[in-house]
């Protein structure tokens, strides 16, 4: 990648030793591959608001079947997908139970409350990413006019790169059913969970009443998510997608990218997981840094003495980008390779053992 093809601002626009940037901020930074661009260029398209886009229709049927649902709807983003799910499951004065640090609760601008009058009931994640089922059960409100109506349990898998076990997901969705709650899975990185656990995305997703998956994370598409559920649920979500401005026209171009990702970029997520482990092992061998062993493609590290921001700045000066929201976070993806990971480790080494 030449410096002229990318602009992240002047601080990081130089050509670092000919190797280009090693951008580990997120798996959303991938560019469509030449083959994906070919698929997009040749996509058959129509007006999807009229239901006329053949590529969108094929993608929706395909992702629904793959994940074990009757129907699916192509969405502009994961946030839109989760919002449409919340509004399709819950009405005003209903409540959904969700992780305190779940994307849907924390990082989606409170859309369910803003647009749907839906009250969140956050529950702290345990270190393994699960919500304690005892806490979930205790938080479900009885039918009493004092309380919001508990209506939905929303889980996230992977959460911060952690895989929730099949056993846990079975118990959690059974608990929801027992109490008359629906269940929604924010599966932005569902395919990472499936690849890491040796399961299938369908086996995980079909435990839930609805699931949202992202094509724009590790799968490497430029845009797009899908929401899956029953035909009746998806019909409601369709109306809400229109209401929130997400009805799109000749988006077969984007659906073709998503389809290409399903064909070519699922199994290779295992490569991202191997690279995350390579990065974690390399960093863990350095002094002054504590690394959480990754289960999938996200590596968290804590730098002693509050020097995390300084390490980030040093890495950036060497063309290695990461983020520091909860400790330091490094995400592997389609556009990084082993050489890039080794450059990231070497750059961290310059700072941690000068």
Ligand X SMILES: *Cc1c(COP(=O)(O)O)cnc(C)c1O
CB of 28: closest distance to ligand X in angstroms? 7
211-230: contacts with ligand X (CB under 6 A): 214, 216-217, 225
x/- mask, ligand X, residues 68-107, rule CB under 6 A, reads: ---------xxx--x--------------------x----
Closer to ligand X by CB, 218 or 319: give it. Answer: 218
CB of 17: closest distance to ligand X in angstroms? 31
Tokens representing residue 15 in the block:
């050509």
Q: How many residues bind ligand X (CB under 6 A)?
A: 12
How far is the C-alpha of 281 from the C-alpha of 279, rounded, in Å? Answer: 6
CB of 76: closest distance to ligand X in angstroms? 8
Count of C-beta atoms within a 10 Å radius of residue 9: 6
Closer to ligand X by CB, 64 or 188: give it. Answer: 188
Closer to ligand X by CB, 57 or 77: give it. Answer: 77
For the chain, the straight-line distance linking the first and the last C-alpha, in angstroms and rounded, comes to: 29
Determine, following the binding rule CB under 6 A, whether residue 246 of this chain makes contact with ligand X.
Answer: no
From residue 141, how far is each of 97, 133, 138, 208 by CA, in Å?
10, 14, 8, 21
Residue nearest to ligand X (CB): 78
CB of 298: closest distance to ligand X in angstroms? 10
From residue 294, how far is each of 40, 148, 206, 259 by CA, in Å?
33, 38, 25, 28
Distinct helix (H) and strand (E) counts, the chain: 14, 12
131-170: contacts with ligand X (CB under 6 A): 156
Count of C-beta atoms within a 10 Å radius of residue 183: 22
Tokens representing residue 138 in the block:
């205790």
178-207: contacts with ligand X (CB under 6 A): 186, 188
Closer to ligand X by CB, 332 or 347: give it. Answer: 332
**Which bin fits 331, alpha (ψ -120 to 50), beta or left (φ > 0)?**
beta
Binding interface with ligand X (CB under 6 A): 77-79, 82, 103, 156, 186, 188, 214, 216-217, 225
């Amino acid at each position: 990648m030449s410096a002229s093809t990318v602009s992240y601002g002047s601080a990081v626009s130089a050509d670092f030793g000919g190797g280009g940037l090693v951008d580990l901020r997120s798996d959303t930074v991938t560019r469509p591959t030449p083959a994906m661009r070919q698929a997009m260029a040749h996509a058959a398209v129509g007006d999807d608001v009229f239901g006329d886009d053949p590529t969108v229709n094929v993608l929706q049927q395909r992702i629904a079947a793959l994940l074990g649902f009757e129907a699916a709807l192509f969405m502009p983003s994961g946030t839109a997908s989760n919002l449409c799910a919340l509004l399709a499951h819950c009405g005003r004065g209903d409540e959904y139970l969700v992780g305190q640090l779940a994307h849907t609760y924390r990082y989606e601008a409170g859309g369910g409350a803003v647009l749907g009058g839906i009250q969140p009931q956050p529950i702290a994640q345990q270190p393994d990413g699960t919500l304690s089922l005892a806490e979930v059960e205790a938080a479900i409100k009885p039918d009493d006019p004092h309380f919001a109506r508990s209506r939905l349990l929303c889980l996230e898998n992977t959460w911060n790169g952690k895989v929730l076990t099949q056993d846990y997901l079975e118990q959690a969705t059974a608990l929801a059913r027992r109490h008359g709650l629906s269940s929604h899975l924010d599966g932005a990185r569902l395919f990472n969970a499936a690849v890491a656990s040796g399961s299938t995305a369908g086996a995980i997703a079909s435990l839930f009443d609805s699931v949202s998956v992202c094509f724009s994370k590790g799968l490497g598409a430029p845009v797009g998510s899908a929401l899956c559920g029953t035909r009746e649920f998806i019909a409601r979500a369709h109306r809400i997608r229109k209401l929130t401005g997400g009805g799109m026209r000749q988006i077969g171009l984007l659906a073709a990218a998503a389809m290409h990702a399903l064909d070519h970029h699922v199994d290779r997520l295992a490569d991202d997981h191997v690279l995350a482990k390579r990065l974690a092992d390399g960093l863990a061998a350095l002094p002054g840094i504590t690394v959480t062993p990754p289960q999938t493609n996200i590596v968290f590290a804590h730098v002693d003495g509050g020097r995390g921001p300084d390490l980030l700045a040093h890495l950036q000066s060497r063309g290695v980008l990461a983020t520091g929201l909860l400790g330091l976070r490094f995400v592997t993806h389609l556009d990084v390779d082993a050489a890039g990971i080794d450059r990231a480790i070497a750059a961290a080494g310059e700072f941690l053992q000068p």
